Amino acid sequence: MTDTPMKGRIALVTGASRGLGYSIALKLAEAGAHVIATARTQAGLEELDDAISKAGGSCTLVPLDVQAPDGIEKLAEAVQQRWSKLDAMVVNAGVLGELMPAAQLTSKVWNEVLAVNLIAPARFIRAFEPLLKQSDAGRAVFTTSGVGSRRAKAYWSAYASSKAGQDILVQSWAREIDGGTLKANLVNPGTVRTRMRAKAAPGEDPMSLPHPDEIAPVFVSLCSPEETRNGEILDAQG
């Protein structure tokens, strides 16, 4: 594989304004991709744009709330009009919700967590599958978690349920596209130095955790046209 395995390719990254999404977007740009970076936070996207420009890469910034009724679908239309295809899609945007007993979770928390962590990925699949199939080697990568269906934890029911649902969604889709040029996989990044992790474990020393830059190359590798795996859940830290 060359130093720029994504040269000339178009890659979409959600939740790109900070943390893991920021690092994935930057690493994809460094690998040669033109990055379509989406997030709710405009300032964070502008910082990413500056970092990508300094690295000699290019990107398109798209402020986007994945809960907006037709935001994802309009983005797909814009990508279709400008590029007519999408080579890689990293669905990384997510919310933690609240860590509390399941019996105390409100409908508001459930609605947000499921909308962002499960319904939005389903909408991205529906909106972008045709564009990914227009690529010679479309790749879709989704951020999951070790607290999903494989390892349930007390007080994590909303977040864990949404991620478990996403796992089944993506693996089911992967079976449907098996045998074609499009591949879909999931990555469990493990404990990483992010704002979400700090909210989940406020007493933890963040410097004891790997930086998102250390995890991002796993996502970049799965976006490569040389990647052949499909329907797998990979642990970024072993």
> What is the DSSP annotation of 161-191?
HHHHHHHHHHHHHHHHHTTSS-EEEEEE--S
Catalytic residue among 124, 142, 156, 159: 159
pLDDT over 90, % of the chain: 83
> Which residues are within 8 A (CB) of 238 and not within 5 positions of it... i.e. 6 or more apart?
none
Residues 119-136 have a mean pLDDT of 98
Per-residue pLDDT tens digits for 23-66: 999 999 999 999 999 999 999 999 999 999 999 999 999 999 99
Helix, strand, coil % in the chain, rounded to nearest 5: 45, 15, 40
Q: Considering only CA atoms, which of 196, 116, 110 is closest in space to residue 158? A: 110
The three-point CA angle 82-85-89 to 5° equals 110
Is 22 annotated as catalytic? Answer: no
Residues 154-173 have a mean pLDDT of 95
Per-residue pLDDT tens digits for 139-155: 999 999 888 666 678 99
